[in-house]
Amino acid sequence: MTNPYAPPQTLVQDVIDPTAGIQLADRSTRLGASILDGLILGLLVYLPLVIGAFPSLAAAQATGRPEVGTGLWVGVSLAAVGVIGWLCFTVKFLGENGQSIGKKACGIKLLRTDGSEVSISRVIIGRNLVNGLLGVIPLYGFIDALFIFGNARRCVHDHLADTIVIKA
C-alpha cells in the first residue's frame, strides 16, 4: 500500500547512461588536472612577470624612486607572450578533443551530457566566461567546487555548459 501523503518520487537523469561504457572522471583526477592547469598557467605567465619585474622593483625600492624601469616592461611583455602561448595550446587542445593540457595529462576529457563532443564555444562561453562573471558573487567559487560531491560529479560550471568530465 502506498502512502498518499508521501512526497512524489522520480528518477532524474542529467548524465549519460552508465551502460553506454562511459565512465565519469574521479573527483581527485579532476582536482589534479585543475592544479596542473594552474601550475602551467603560472609557469607561462606569472613566473616571467615576476622574474622580469623583480630587478626593476628592487632597484626602485633601493633608490627610493617609484619610477617604472625597463625590467617591469620586459616582465609584462614576457607574461603577455605566455598568455598568448597558453591560450593557443588550450584552445587547440580543447577544440580537438575537449581536453585542456592538465586534462590531457590526467587522461580525462569534456563531453556534452548526451555523450556528444563539446564545442570550443560552449567551453569558452559556458564554462569560462559565464562562470568567471558569476565569480564576483561572494562564495560562488566555493559553492561551484562543492557541487562536485553530488552523484553526477558536476560542478556549477558543468551544469552551465551542459558538460560532463569523463575518463578519456
- List the chain domain ranges: 21-167
The SS3 assignment for 111 reads strand
23-70 pLDDT, tens per residue?
899 999 999 999 999 999 999 999 988 888 777 777 767 776 666 667
Say which residue the cell 576529457 belongs to. Answer: 109
> pTM of this prediction?
0.77
Query: Are 146 and 133 spatial neighbours (Cβ–Cβ below 8 Å)?
Result: no
User: Each residue of 89-110: pLDDT tens digit?
Assistant: 888 999 899 999 999 999 999 9
- Residue-wise pLDDT for 109-152, tens only, equals 999 988 889 999 999 898 889 999 999 999 999 999 999 998 88
List Cβ neighbours of 32 (8 Å cut-off, separation of 6 or more).
Answer: 102, 106
How confident is the model at residue 19, as a pLDDT?
46
Could you tell me the three cell numbers for 155? Answer: 560542478
